[in-house]
């Protein structure tokens, strides 16, 4: 099990108040901003930026980076590992 991905799921649920969802409901490759995935909106995107800074000390300053990074749990984890390496 990838701890970073599991942590990310818990952090997203807490930060975005997704009370009906558990980490197991979120597939690693599910599209976060697609209705078939988590169905997040633009305010949630801002919360994800806050989440990355709060929990991982990463500032997203380039909006284009966010577009790619926030596609899924997989891409978020990849982005965090890349920024920290």
Partner 1 sequence: MSLITTYCHLSADQCSVNGKVVSTRERSAAGSWFKQIYKEQEFVYPKFYKMDALSQAGFLASELIKRANQGIVNSYKDDEIAMLFANQSSSADTDLRFMHSYEHNGAPSPSLFVYTLPNIVLGEIAIINKWYGENMFAVLPKFAPGFFADYGRILLSTGAKAVLCGWLGVLGDHIEVFVWLVENESENGLDFNKENLLELAGI
Which residues of the chain form contacts with partner 1 (CB under 8 A)? 16-20, 39, 43-44, 46-47, 50, 53-54
> CB-wise, 27 or 50, nearer to partner 1?
50
Specify whether the CB–CB gap between 38 and 9 falls below 8 A. no
State the minimum distance, in angstroms, from the CB of residue 32 to partner 1.
14
DSSP result, 7-51: HHHHHHHHHTT-TT--GGGS-TT--TTSTTTT---HHHHHHHHHH
> CB-wise, 19 or 64, nearer to partner 1?
19
State the minimum distance, in angstroms, from the CB of residue 50 to partner 1.
5
């Amino acid at each position: 099990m990838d701890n970073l991905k599991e942590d990310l799921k818990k952090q997203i649920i807490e930060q975005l108040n997704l009370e009906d969802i558990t980490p197991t409901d979120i597939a690693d490759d599910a599209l976060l901003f697609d209705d078939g995935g988590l169905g997040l909106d633009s305010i949630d995107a801002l919360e994800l930026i806050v989440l990355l800074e709060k929990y991982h000390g990463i500032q997203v300053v380039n909006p284009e980076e966010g577009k790619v990074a926030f596609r899924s749990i997989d891409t978020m984890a990849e982005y965090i590992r890349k920024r920290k390496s």
